Amino acid sequence: MKIQNAAGSLSAAAFVLALALGAAACGGKDNANNANSASNANSAAVNSNAVSNTVSNTGNAISNMTSSATDAGLKNAIEANLTRYGVAGVTVEVKDKEVTLKGNIPRAKLQDAMKAANEASPKKVNNQLNLQ
């Protein structure tokens, strides 16, 4: 999403710059108008860069805010999957989309526990389960 917004802003700046330069090239006789067109194009390019940087910074802030929300959602999804597979006694910890499974489970439930965690699409699953 960030890249598309930034690219969209840059495309607008390139369009404005091309339009201003085209108008300046067509006029030819009126140097004052040509200078104003070039000045306006430079202003548009500078403003577009400022908008692009703002969009990028806003995207980073949103990404940082949603990281913790994503961790909570990931934890909830894994806990729901564990319940669905009938795996009890597992504690789920999530930080930066990395999952740690802790607890004591029967050896026969290990595959179900790992499947429950991996189905939620974390970055990584750390297995700290004790098998009985």
Per-residue pLDDT of 76-129, as tens digits, reads 999 999 999 999 999 999 999 999 999 999 999 999 999 999 999 999 999 999
Length of the chain: 132
List pLDDT tens digits, range 26-77.
554 555 555 555 555 555 555 555 555 555 555 555 544 455 669 999 999 9
- In 54-76, which positions are buried (b, 16+ CB within 10 angstroms) versus exposed (e)? ebeeebeeeeeeeeeeebeebbe
Name the residue type at position 41: A
The Cα–Cα gap between 26 and 50 comes to 29
* Block residue for tokens 């995207």: 59
Q: Judge contact between 21 and 39, C-beta under 8 A.
A: no
Using a cut of 0.85, tell me whether the model's pTM lies above it.
no
Buried b / exposed e along 82-96 (16+ C-beta atoms within 10 A) = beeeebeebebebee
47 with 55: CB under 8 angstroms? Answer: no
Find the distance separating the first CA and the last CA of the chain, reported in whole Å.
46
Query: Is residue 90 within 8 Å of residue 82, measured between CB atoms?
Result: yes
Q: Which amino acid is present at 59?
A: G
The distance from CA 86 to its chain's CA centroid, rounded to whole angstroms, is: 33
